[in-house]
Amino acid sequence: MASANGERQARHFIFGFRGTFFAALLISVLAPFSAVPAFARAAPESFADLAERLSPAVVNISTSQLLQPGDMTIPGVPPGSPLNDFFEEFLEQQQGARPQRVQSLGSGFVIDADGVVITNNHVIEGADKIEVTFTDGTTLPATVAGTDPKTDIAVLKVKSDRKLPFVELGDSNTARVGDWVIAIGNPFGLGGSVTAGIVSALNRDIHAGNYDDFIQTDAAINRGNSGGPLFDMSGRVVGVNSAIISPSGASVGIGFAVPTSTVKPVVAQILKYGETRRGWLGVRIQSVTPEIAESLGLGRGRGALVAGVNPGGPADEAGIEPGDIILAFDGKNISTMRDLPRVVAEAEIGATVDVQLFRNGDTLTRKVEVARLEDEEVAPTEIPGPAGSSPQTTVVLGLALADLNDDLRQRFGVPKETAGALITDVDPLSAAAEKGIRPGEIIVEVAQRPVSSAADVEKIVQSEEKAGRNSVLFRLSLAGEIRFVALRLGG
């Protein structure tokens, strides 16, 4: 039992079915109102008619993959772990250092009579052989039309001499918490299993990626259900079952499905281009906390705060600046930071759209031409730690601040063009420490005013306190990466 990489390991261990050896060794845990009348639909007497109609379009997916000895790891255990060393040593003793063929089972469903099948990317990732089995026992070889690891969706194609049973992709945006849903799939390789439950929550972020927007359900989902459909009571697919939270490996009533609002554009692009083509705005963003909203005069926390703008990118050319808060994109409101990546990704490449911004107390609109997302974001570079003698510092809100000089720039890796006050130490009991501020960061703005020294920071903070402000906004720079943090005054 093995898998090819860390992310796939965790997912396959939750859902894959690869025999019983080490099967129970480890499981990953995906670490005001008023009364209104209720109009909920009554619980159905039976799901039998629905299950009978839909099951023929739900398939079992069997994959196999040849792994070299060095690739063998325990699902759910990161590469390099001593447990993996032990596992590989055990296999070498039992079978010698030879390649091993690994089997895996998952689920999927047909959406077109000509043989288009949807499943999870992690079900088929790395496989060199894929077979699809229908409820009548028919088994067909499948080819990969395309995959999208970012949403964990894969599209397969099978050829048959007859029209295949299929189901329709519905509208997940109509789903409501409390609605009945049923899941059909291949748990533990049993095949053709039907479970029922309700929509427990919507728009769940389980930190699987930038486009998290999961439907949570208590319909039983187990290992092997991956890639299977989640149906509403009209028999339309509203989600693709993809993950569970479980300390035991079995269903505890917390499962997650990728909503069809995410699935549809991905599938359409894969069928048209063989790949996904996402829109790109060219900004680095962060959440608008209540403290940040208050410090900027926005009121309630909403939108996405622009922490940085890619030079020459669409946002830069449109005049969007760091410190702007994006409130709407192409007519779609941005309630939270994580709404923006999904909305931008779904935008038509080359289209010119309106972006509504909040800047310096005013709401304004900029027109942006959406570009195509080509490369992954570059991870921030770590700043070297302090060394040498301690500089003279000024303490403001739990932050020890020093003026930048040649020695400090060299020790902390601060570029010559960066102006501001250097944070040399952070009081571990301060609000600044709770917000994750750390030594090595540079304060470049306070209350949207540029600073070049520790004295500048102290002066502006004092003026904000005298003005009756409850919090003050800091713009911080670390290795060229910008972020904003609001601190309570007097904290």
List Cβ neighbours of 35 (8 Å cut-off, separation of 6 or more). none
Around Cβ 10, how many Cβ atoms within 10 Å?
23
Assigned token pair, 202: 């919507």
21 burial type by CB count under 10 A (0-12 exposed, 13-18 middle, 19+ buried): exposed
Helices (DSSP H) in 331-486: which residue ranges? 339-346, 406-412, 431-434, 454-466
Assigned token pair, 84: 């993996």
Query: How would you classify the pairing of strands 399-403 and 421-426?
Result: antiparallel
Rounded CA separation 309/137 (Å): 55
Beta strands in 91-208 (DSSP E): 100-112, 116-120, 129-133, 139-148, 153-158, 180-185, 193-204
Out of 71, 148, 152, 179, the active site residue is: 152
Quote the DSSP letter at residue 169: B
Nearest to 73 by CA among 167, 1, 136: 1
Out of 122, 148, 172, 200, the active site residue is: 122
Assigned token pair, 68: 């070299």
Query: How would you classify the pairing of strands 332-333 and 325-329?
Result: antiparallel
Residue owning tokens 């959440």: 287
* Catalytic-residue membership of 152: yes
Q: From residue 414, how far is each of 170, 175, 386, 405 by CA, in Å?
A: 52, 50, 12, 10
Helices (DSSP H) in 55-179: which residue ranges? 82-95, 121-124
Out of 104, 172, 193, 226, the active site residue is: 226
**Torsion, Cα of 182, 183, 188, 192 (10° steps):** 80
* Catalytic-residue membership of 425: no
Exposure pattern of 452-474 as b/e (b: 16+ CB <10 Å)? ebbebbbebbeebeeeebebbbb
Which residues belong to the active site?
122, 152, 226
